[in-house]
Chains A and B, each alone.
Chain A
Amino acid sequence: MATKTICGKTVQVNEEGFMTNPAEWDKDIAVELAIEEGIVELTPQHWKVIDFCRNNAPNGKAPTLRQITSGSGLSTKELFGLFPKGPAKKVARIAGLGKPEGCV
């Protein structure tokens, strides 16, 4: 298992760069990972999504996009606006979780 140093902390990551131990995640790491994903600033709306994912991640896997929109109250448009070009992967990676396991 590879490791990576983010904000001075060493965390475990898989070959795609997703953190594998959700307990190693914190908000500073999220800010740094977001920058890597091209999101320069995490707004309260971004945090709403990230917090929802952190609170709804059985086995450390991020919820699917549809679970995020139906659970967090954000629309599909808003979600794709907040995390453009691939929100499913981006949200999971920034939230320190694995890729979602569902298809919808």
Chain B
Amino acid sequence: MTEETRKIAFICSKGNLDMAYPALIMGWAALGNGIDVTIFFTFWGMDMINKHRVDHLQIPPVANSSMKMNLMGVPGYVGIPQIMGVLPGMTPFATHLMNNKMKELGVPPVREYLEMLCDAGAHMYACKMSVDMMGLSMDDFVPGVEAIVTAADFMDMTEGAQIIFI
């Protein structure tokens, strides 16, 4: 085969639980199909690789108009009143429901997913500016994060790659 290996780069900028999964799922699919994968974590996405935060990602029901009560077994598409979403305990409750759904489907938690991606050869980098802004260092990250890089470094290392911003 003479064709060049396809390359995909993901930019993870969100720290909510639901927004952590897209890059993990697509990255894993890419690796399984022989595509090179690079993941760049920036801004709130830093929570995904922060070892103190990765097991505590949450999904808040507030301002999420797609989250319906059928997640809790209520039939149809009954919404969650926004006023209820702000009650103490609602975010942990919604998070608990989502984590359970993921477990039922055999989808691993974020920390384990990152390990799988790393073992499968994905390259993971932290954003320099976010690191500076949040006062983080390499010691705060889960294993597998290779380096702290600048935006320009990211541009160099993703030459020829398809880039997906999440």
Which listed segment binds A: B52-60, B115-123, B148-156?
B115-123
- Please tell me if the beta carbons of B33 and A76 are within 8 angstroms of each other in the complex: no
Which listed segment binds A: B12-20, B24-32, B41-49, B157-165?
B24-32
| Sample (8) of A-B pairs whose CB atoms are under 8 Å apart | A66-B106, A77-B120, A86-B31, A86-B34, A88-B29, A89-B33, A103-B25, A104-B107
Which of B34, B108, B121 touches A66 (beta carbons < 8 Å)?
Answer: B108
- Please tell me if the beta carbons of A103 and B29 are within 8 angstroms of each other in the complex: yes
Q: Which residues on A sit within 8 Å (CB–CB) of B105? A: 104
Say whether A94 faces chain B, with CB atoms less than 8 Å apart: no
Say whether B5 faces chain A, with CB atoms less than 8 Å apart: yes
| Number of inter-chain CB pairs below 8 Å | 42
Tell me, in angstroms, the Cα distance from A76 to B33 when the chains sit together: 14
Residues of B within 8 A of A (CB): 5, 25, 28-29, 31-35, 105-108, 115-116, 119-121
- Please tell me if the beta carbons of B119 and A80 are within 8 angstroms of each other in the complex: yes
- Please tell me if the beta carbons of B119 and A87 are within 8 angstroms of each other in the complex: no
B24 and chain A: residue at smallest CB distance: A104
Say whether A19 faces chain B, with CB atoms less than 8 Å apart: no
A79 and chain B: residue at smallest CB distance: B120
